[in-house]
Structure formats: structure tokens, C-alpha cells
């Protein structure tokens, strides 16, 4: 039986979805709890990894297990065992061919920035902006990223060279929410660091350090040396993974 689980986590205390040497990964924390519940080793497969300090409201993973327990029981048992910064928000029974990674159709990531520099509660959850940014310029620049492109310029140089770099972005919204600025990215999928590097580049435009057209020039360079901008993982949220 295949179970699809939706999980929310505060990534502050973790090395990311995958464990690192000497640092706790969210995946292994969940696997440990599941294995305790089923009294046998259980592996889970996520829609994709998230990096250190990155948060999730709607990460999805699946696992296979016998029918001993209902979805409700699994959710309750896991949330009892899991640390409070990892919460299962939904558990559903799925078709046998469901795969959290291969069945995913699209993903939404949000990136949060704030002007609230005197708030001691935000620094793990939003990137603090030292100076004001021009949102209209950022919106103009974001248009160049929409559609299907080879995003080599906007991804980590550590990425596997055999992996395809072509992705489609359906939606980029940049919203002013009180003292915050929220970037919303929706697309078929994102390469490692892609959302952070796109956000960082748009922020350079917003600070009027580069022209909007530079976003296009960087994209078209298709070179891992084209973009020198990145932002911290702390402001990044995996919001939702959509399946057909």
C-alpha cells in the first residue's frame, strides 16, 4: 500500500531534507519515526530535496507499508513521535503507481523578504532588506524568466551535468504584504539553488544595481558563471507540490 504524506517543517534546525555529515536531515528523522511505528525499516521518497534552513508548508513524500494502519492513525502516530518543528498535515492512501517525485506535475516555492530589521523573530524566516527595493522593476525583469528555458545560469554549479536543465515557469508574482515582499514561483520543477538565485538577481534589479534586461542576458548565457547572486535558504518555502 502506498501512502502519500504532506509535511510542513521549520528548516532552521536541519541540514536540509537529506542528512549531511554530522547534521540531522528531515528525511532521516521521519524515517526513524516511521520505522519505530512499523517495527521494520521504512524508506521514504520526497518530491525533491530542500536545502539547509529551507522551510516547507507542503512538501510531499510517499512510502510503502502494509495495511495495518489507516491514514489517520499514521498521521496521529507520526505527529506524536516527530519533533514539533516537523508536522504531518495530511496522509492519504494512493494508487500503487504513485511516486512523490515522478508523479509531481508542478511546484510552488515562495521567498520572503522583509524591511522589519528590528524584529528579533523574523531572521530565520525572512531575509532582511537593508534598503528599499523597486518592486515594479523586479516585476518587469521577472517576465524574462517566464516560460520554458534552459536554466543553467540560475543553478548550482554542483549540479549533476547529466541532468536536464530545461524547466518551465508558469507564474512569478511579487507581492508587497505590509513590511514584507513575497516572491511566488510556480513551475514544472526547479534546479538546485534556482529559486534563490532568481530571487537574488531580481533583488539586484530592485536595488537598481543591475538593469531588468540583465535577467535575460544572464538566462541566455546558459553558463554557470553568469549569475553571481544568491540569497540565504532561511527565506525559502516549498509551498505546494501538485499532482494530476
Contacts with its own copies, residue ranges (CB under 8 A) = 8-10, 55, 79, 84-89, 117-121, 123, 125
- Of residues 85 and 211, the one with the C-beta less far from its own copies: 85
Rounded CA Rg of the chain: 19
d(CA 210, CA 192): 23
We find the least distance from the C-beta atom of residue 9 to its own copies, in angstroms, to be: 5
Specify whether 51 is catalytic.
yes
Which residue, 244, 134, 148, 155, is CA-closest to 198?
155
- Of residues 88 and 138, the one with the C-beta less far from its own copies: 88
Q: Which of 51, 66, 97, 110 is catalytic?
A: 51
3 - beta bridge partners?
A: 63, 93
- Of residues 180 and 214, the one with the C-beta less far from its own copies: 180
DSSP assignment of 123-166 equals: TTTSEEPSS---HHHHHHHHGGG-EEEE-GGGS-TTS-TTS--E
Which residue, 13, 17, 96, 9, is CA-closest to 51?
17
What is the number of other CB atoms lying within 10 angstroms of the CB of residue 241?
Answer: 24
We find the least distance from the C-beta atom of residue 34 to its own copies, in angstroms, to be: 17
φ/ψ of 190, rounded to 5, equals -135, 145
- Of residues 41 and 118, the one with the C-beta less far from its own copies: 118
DSSP character for 20? B
Catalytic residue numbers, as ranges: 51
Amino acid at each position: 500500500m502506498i501512502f502519500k504524506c504532506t509535511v510542513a517543517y521549520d528548516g532552521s534546525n536541519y541540514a536540509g531534507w537529506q542528512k549531511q555529515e554530522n547534521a540531522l536531515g528531515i528525511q532521516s528523522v521521519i524515517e526513524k519515526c516511521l520505522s519505530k511505528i512499523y517495527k521494520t525499516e521504512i524508506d521514504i521518497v520526497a518530491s525533491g530535496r530542500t536545502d539547509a534552513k529551507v522551510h516547507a508548508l507542503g512538501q510531499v513524500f510517499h512510502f510503502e507499508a502494509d495495511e495495518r494502519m489507516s491514514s489517520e492513525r499514521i498521521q496521529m502516530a507520526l505527529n506524536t513521535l516527530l519533533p514539533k518543528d516537523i508536522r504531518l498535515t495530511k496522509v492519504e492512501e494512493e494508487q500503487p503507481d504513485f511516486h512523490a517525485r515522478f508523479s509531481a506535475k508542478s511546484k510552488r516555492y515562495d521567498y520572503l523578504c522583509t524591511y522589519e530589521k528590528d524584529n528579533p523573530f523574523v531572521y530565520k524566516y525572512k531575509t532582511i532588506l537593508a534598503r528599499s527595493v523597486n518592486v515594479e522593476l523586479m516585476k518587469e525583469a521577472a517576465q524574462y524568466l517566464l516560460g520554458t528555458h534552459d536554466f543553467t545560469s540560475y543553478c548550482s554549479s554542483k549540479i549533476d551535468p547529466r541532468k536536464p536543465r530545461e524547466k518551465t515557469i508558469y507564474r512569478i508574482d511579487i507581492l508587497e504584504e505590509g513590511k514584507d515582499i513575497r516572491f511566488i514561483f510556480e513551475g514544472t520543477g526547479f534546479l538546485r539553488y534556482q529559486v534563490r538565485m532568481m530571487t537574488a538577481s531580481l533583488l539586484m534589479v530592485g536595488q537598481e544595481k543591475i538593469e531588468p534586461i540583465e535577467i535575460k542576458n544572464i538566462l541566455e548565457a546558459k553558463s554557470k558563471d553568469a549569475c553571481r547572486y544568491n540569497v540565504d535558504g532561511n527565506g525559502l518555502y516549498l509551498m505546494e507540490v501538485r499532482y494530476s
